[in-house]
Amino acid sequence: MGRAQASITAVEAGLGVLLLTAVTLGFALGVPDDEPAKQRAQLETYAADAATLLANEPPRHADQTRLAEVAASADAFARERDALERRVDRILPDNLLFRVETPHGTVGYPLPDGVAVGTATVLTTNGEVTLRVWYA
């Protein structure tokens, strides 16, 4: 009795079909996406950049920096609140919302649940100031 052998052409055709199926499924289903991680990293960068700009700006009235000024007292925060909100709004891109938290109050929008948030905290001579940003 002779042994049966598959022809090389049939083997090549089978491998070709498997390869085409794999490539087609790769295009149809795509590759795993790490979009949330990219989003969070971008938000962290936006927050850090904005916090750095604010931390290095001169104060409008007194103290060492603009952030130290708003963290100095409740009166200073109340006086500078609107100007700080306008400044942060100008610094950040239009598709971002923000919240600045100081020892004497907050400026910006309420933080929603379940969204990716970028955070940067600056230590001033008068306490910590935290900036949170997220996509609108």
Q: Mind listing the pLDDT tens digit for each residue in 78-125?
A: 999 999 999 999 999 999 999 999 999 999 999 999 999 999 999 999
Q: How far is residue 73's CA from residue 87's CA, in Å, rounded to a whole number? A: 19
pLDDT band at 31 (very low <50, low <70, confident <90, very high): low
Residue 5 tokens, joined = 């052998």
Q: How far is residue 65's CA from residue 136's CA, in Å, rounded to a whole number? A: 29
For the segment 49-78, what is each residue's pLDDT rounded down to a tens digit?
999 999 999 888 776 888 999 999 999 999
Kindly report the pTM of this predicted structure: 0.72
Q: How far is residue 128's CA from residue 117's CA, in Å, rounded to a whole number? A: 18
Q: How far is residue 120's CA from residue 78's CA, in Å, rounded to a whole number? A: 22
CA atoms within 13 A on the CB side of 40: 7
- Strand segments, DSSP code E, in 55-126 are 96-102, 105-108, 118-124
The CA angle 97-100-105, to the nearest 5 degrees, is 130
Q: How far is residue 69's CA from residue 64's CA, in Å, rounded to a whole number? A: 7
Contacting residues for 89 by C-beta, under 8 A, at least 6 apart: 98
What is the rounded radius of gyration, in angstroms, for the C-alpha atoms of the chain?
Answer: 28
